[in-house]
Structure 1
Amino acid sequence: MTFRLRAVRAFALLLGFFLIGVVLLSAMAVLDWLVLTRLVTARAAWVEGAVLTVTVLLAAAILRGFFAFLRAGRSGPVPHAVAVTPMEQPELWEQVRAAAEATGQRPPDELYLVAEVNAAVTEQSRLLGLRPGRRRMFLGLPLLAGLTVRQLRAVLAHEFGHYGNLDTRLGGLTMRGREALMHTVEAFQQGSTQLHQAIGALYVGYARMYLRTTQSVARHQELAADRMAARYAGREATAAALRTIPVLDGAYTHYLETYAAIGGSLGVLPPVGEVHGGFRRLLAARTGERLAALSAGHRPPRPHKYDSHPPMAERIALIDKLPADDRPDQPADETVGLSLLHDSDRVFAALEACTLSPDAAGLRRMSWDDLAMARAITDAEGWSRPLRVAVARALRSSAHDAGDTVTRRQAATAGEGADDLLPTLEEILDAFDRSLLWMEIADRMPKPDQAARLFGSSARNFIRPRIFDGLAGMVHLRLAASGHAKPDIAWSGQPGLILPESWEKGMDDAIDAAVADTPDTAPLRALLATPTATPSRVPA
């Protein structure tokens, strides 16, 4: 079946969506007429009321579906985006208009910048696109930060290519029909009554059939848009954009989780404009394989079985098979898309104001270095507290010297939140030297129920890493308090602390000796006695 015939079939199925509602409304109207005039006697008047009530509610649900279908794509407010005008960002608008003209399309009426690795063009539905409507384009600032200008041109041409006259205008109508059906199904699923859900089940079934039937048409449109992008921006730039976007998506997810949210547990935000704008710093510090490694740790969401996008590898392979670009060789232009923006810092700040909730926007701000230090201290306190509490409780149970008031006072407050009265690092090492580590302390460390059944070397090997972390946390706290540890936001690695070089070289071995089956605290005590000021970075 040719693309044109498949598109005509899709259009006929789309009309069938309306036909379902018309048939149901007609059937209910006939039923109401029969009930009122023929089927119900005066003695069973209550039946009339029941039937009329049910049919009216069903008709309301069907009409709701009609209106949801017709209103799909209608313009509404855009709460989490920054609108930019041609006067504010002329160079960006110039690229958008050039891509629209090259694809034979009219440019958007509105341009919005969003906090996503994405680009899209939406059009207000008027008879599902048979009549032109108002257009909006959405461009993600992270996308602009990670793509070159040439790659951005390919993305813009692809988005406008969805609206091109590709083989038949019914192809574009099919795409809009898919969007409208999904919008309608969502409206039914949000219904609060069982009647809404019952009618919705019918439409959901029809929508699934329509999506299966139009899958090939939708994918044809995507591949045609890729070809149009390659003709406009070049084959290499288009393929590079397709390869880069998944990498950027994974890197941006990593940035949000690792950097933008670094102060979340502290109730603190990065500097103004840096919640999203800090992504530029990560991109500047990590290039090529190191950037791709970030996305390798973030599996992309599983595509929907009715997704219109073919697999990325298939799209890139088809672009690579296109004829070589009929244009003179030019040196690679690595100018990033953000260079098209005037005062990008202000734009990032404006986007941040749109995306943060009122409560989040009112949080205290810290510099990146201060955030790294605050988070490192908080993490170190979290690592060390279980060990300090376990040691305090072990000291309480094994106290033999009534004159050891400090130890008894610390033990009495164990677990009550008085961190200043819990054992110090030296007191913990003293407890290790008294052979309390494996006799008392290890048993008092928190552990899951399954681990509580372990004994002997298995029990020691299970709990040893947690004791190691507790000592390391206390070392970090000691060095931070003395000024020997410095913060490092580490855009090229993981946020953490820069420790003295002697500690970086000797700390792991010293702590390993302290938590061995036969504890030896001498190496760790020696480091504590002679810290140096030469820094070496350690992740928090």
Structure 2
Amino acid sequence: MRAARALVLLVGFYLIGVVLLAAMALLDWLLVTRWFTARAAWFEGTVLTVTALLAVAVLRGMYAFLRAGRLGPVPHGVAITQQDQPELWEQVRAAAEATGERPPDELYLVAEVNAGVAEQSRLLGLLPGRRRMILGLPLLAGMTVPRLRAVLAHEFGHYGHLGTRLGGITMRGREAVLHTVAVFREGSTAMHHAIGALYIGYARMFLRTSQAVARHQELAADQMAARHAGREATAAALRALPVLDAAHTHYLETYASMGMPCGALPPVGEFHGGFPRLLAARTGERLAAFSAGVRPPRPHPYDSHPPTGERIALIEELPADGRTDGSAEEPAALTLLRDPGRVFAALEARTLTREAMGLPRMSWDDLVMARAVADAEGWSRPLRLAVARSLRSAGHPSEGTAPVVRRDASATRTAGDAELPGLEDVLDAFDRGLLWTEITDRIPKPAQAARLTGASARNFVRPTVFDGLAGMVHLRLAATGQVAPDIAWSGQPGLTLPEVWERDMDDALDAAVADTPDTAPLRALLTAANRVSA
């Protein structure tokens, strides 16, 4: 029935195209043979041009169908052979055998929390063809071996229920229809939009029908996974997927790309290979917290997967099979790989741009320090610029300006031709009463905030001043070697400050940015820090 439905949808797509082409051909024939007049030649020429353009659009959609569904290259994946990784391939073959299917011809590792199968089928998807499987390295890092077995069996469940062969029909039809709709939407004539409306209506019907079939296939594949890997491992794998996805997103944003503003990358293989470190440091509830605030998407008729909660509930309704998840005792699926560091390095070469691959490599600690200094410079710069301009306006040129210091070298930022003021210069300006009369007026702020006055204006800009002072403190402590980098896989990377600064800095900064600034507490901390560095 699914095959018949898919074939009917494909026939319907072709019928639309054939009918439209026939109608346009008839119109052109009538124009040329029956309706053509010398006085209306310009009109017939315009119509012939429009119908020719429409025919090209329809033919492009048909051609897209013929080309869709072929197995192209995987530019962002690493091909894994049975000779390279026999243990991983053994799990793949075992899942294939348990589900009564043949293993894939190709296996690729990618940088996503994902797994999938594809098949270059023949005869509109009714005959089997070359098979390909992709597995995400982050998935292997976050799944135990039993959970990976469930994932593999689920994917072969698509094969067992003709999911990929029938999926070839639906996916090829989907690509062709959507491509044709896009072509008509790009058109500029009313006829383009009118005919495009037919394809849009058909596309909606096609998606509703084909995606409903896909959702049934997902549930059937879940049942296959539970039979092979066990009910508990299958349900646990489904629960783990959104957690791993959220954790991986956090890792990429916080750790992997940490050095990008500084023009540096982690050590070779660690751009993706650091993710297992984060997972090892954040287990249980701390790991689940990544997805705690993520709302599941609302179901709609075009979903290709049923809601995860519904899938888990159906699996848990299955009879107990005596097999447990074994997550505490079982190794991570990443242990199936031989020399995972080499695989992570190969994946970097496939996923990073040539420019990124040419960046210098730094240790995680050096990256943390470089990023912390870069961030501190960014926090402090608006305040230092505002102080420099205020001092020039008030006729008090800064004295004893201090450069912005990196860990490995010093660098001076300029405001026009003058050096930016140092920390003591900023505190002196506060003591002169310039903070709320001159400095904050020169700190950039949104237009709406610029109209604020009095306490409202001070409260709006106070966090910016606080952060600017904190950034200058971090730069000073980094320049004098009094901070240490903390990669903090279990928390947030940053700098570890001396104990007295960890304890007293926030209160000292609050006093310095109060309505009546008091810089004495912060100066006392700086004096103590100078004695330590000396």
Match of residue 176, structure 2, among 170, 184, 198: 184
Match of 1:537 in 2: none
Instruction: Find the residue that maps to 1:490 and give its secondary structure.
Output: coil
Change (3 A) 1:408 1:85: closer
Distance 2:205 2:154 in 1: 27
In percent, how many aligned pairs have the same letter? 71
Amino acid at match of 1:260: A
Aligned counterparts of 2:25 and 2:452: Cα–Cα separation in 1: 73
Paired with 2:492 and 2:42, the residues of 1 have a C-alpha distance of: 72
Q: Distance in 2 between the 1:152 and 1:414 partners?
A: 52
CA drift of 1:522 comes to 1.6
Match of 1:96 among 83, 92, 97: 92
SS at structure 1 position matched to 2:127: coil
Q: Alpha carbons of 1:441 and 1:34: their partners in 2 closer, same or farther (altered >3 Å)?
A: closer
- The Cα shift of 1:218 comes to 2.2
Classify 1:414/1:325 alpha carbon distance in 2 versus 1 (closer, same or farther; 3 Å).
Answer: closer
Partner of residue 431 from structure 2, selected from 422, 430, 433: 433
Q: Which runs of 5+ in 2 are unaligned?
A: 404-411
TM-score between both structures, scaled by the size of structure 2 = 0.89
Partner residue in 1 for 2:407: none
The alignment partner of 1:280 has SS state of helix
Q: Is 2:353 the counterpart of 1:357?
A: yes
Rounded to whole Å, the distance in 1 between the matches of 2:142 and 2:394 is: 60
Structure 2 Cα separation of the partners of residues 97 and 124 of structure 1? 20
Return closer, same or farther for 1:48/1:455 CA change in 2, 3 Å cut-off. Answer: closer
**CA gap 1:354/1:476 in 2 versus in 1, 3 angstroms:** same
Residues 55 and 519 of structure 1, relative CA distance in 2, 3 Å threshold: closer
Tell me whether 497-506 or 183-192 shows the greater mean CA deviation.
183-192
After TM superposition, list the pairs within 5 Å mapping 1:64-83 onto structure 2: 64-83=60-79
Please say if residues 502 and 532 of structure 1, whose CA atoms lie closer than 8 Å, have aligned partners that are also in contact: no
AA paired with 1:367? S
Q: Following TM superposition, by how much is the alpha carbon of 1:41 offset from its aligned partner in structure 2, in angstroms? A: 6.1
Distance 2:324 2:291 in 1: 34
| Residue 157 of structure 1: how far off its partner (Å) | 1.0
| Partners of 2:7 and 2:465 in 1: CA distance | 67
Deviation at 1:162? 1.3
- What is the CA deviation profile of residues 60-103 of structure 1, one whole-angstrom value per residue up to 9, with x for unaligned ones? 33232222223221011221111111111111111111112222
C-alpha separation between the residues in 1 aligned to 2:87 and 2:456? 65
User: Does residue 416 of the first structure (1) align with residue 415 of the second (2)?
Assistant: yes
Aligned 8 A contact 2:120 2:131 in 1:
yes
Whether 2:257 is the aligned partner of 1:261: answer yes
Question: Does the 8 Å CA contact 1:501/1:533 hold for their aligned counterparts?
Answer: no
Cα deviation for residue 18 of structure 1 reads 1.9
Q: What is the DSSP-based 3-state SS (H/G/I as helix, E as strand, rest coil) of the residue aligned with 1:531?
A: helix
1:477 and 1:19 mapped to 2: Cα distance? 70
Distance 1:331 1:337, change over 3 A: closer
Structure 1 equivalent of residue 399 of structure 2: 406
How many residues align? The count is 520
Partner of 1:513: 511
Q: Given the superposition, is the C-alpha separation of residues 130 and 399 from structure 1 closer, same or farther in structure 2, using an over 3 Å criterion?
A: same
Q: What displacement does 1:248 show?
A: 0.5
1:14-413 alignment to 2 at 5 Å?
14-40=10-36, 53-165=49-161, 174-188=166-180, 191=183, 194=188, 198=193, 200-297=196-293, 305-325=301-321, 333-399=329-395, 406=399
Q: Distance between the aligned counterparts of 2:351 and 2:70, measured in 1?
A: 22
The worse-fitting range, judged by mean Cα deviation, of 374-383 and 12-21 is 12-21
1:463 is aligned to 2:461: yes
Aligned-partner Cα distance in 1 for 2:67–2:481: 62
Distance 1:349 1:307 in 2: 35
- Mean Cα displacement is larger for which, 216-225 or 293-302? 293-302
TM-score (norm 1): 0.88
2:178 & 2:209 partners in 1: Cα distance?
20
Q: In structure 1, what is the Cα distance between the partners aligned to 2:482 and 2:400?
A: 28
1:447 to 439, 445, 448: 445
The code of the aligned residue for 1:180 comes to R
Give me the whole-angstrom Cα distance separating, in 1, the residues matched to 2:160 and 2:416: 66
User: For residues 60 and 463 of structure 1, what CA distance do their matches in structure 2 show?
Assistant: 59
Report the more deviating stretch, 198-207 or 123-132: 198-207
1:46 CA displacement: 6.8
Change (3 A) 1:529 1:41: closer
CA contact (8 A) 2:6 2:170 kept: no
Q: Please give the root-mean-square deviation of Cα atoms over the aligned residues, in Å.
A: 3.0
- CA gap of 1:50–1:97, structure 2 versus 1, over 3 A, is same
| 2:408 corresponds to | none
Whether the 8 Å contact between 2:181 and 2:199 is mirrored in structure 1 is no
1:13-52 CA distance string (max 9 Å, x none): 3322222223233334444444455444688777776555
Q: Is the 8 A contact 1:40 1:47 kept in 2?
A: no
Paired letter, 1:513: A
Cα distance 1:507–1:37, how it changes in 2: closer, same or farther (>3 A)? Answer: same
Superimposed CA distance per residue, residues 297-346 of structure 1 (whole angstroms, 9 cap, x where no aligned partner): 55566666401201111000000001111569978542111111111111
Partner of 2:486: 488
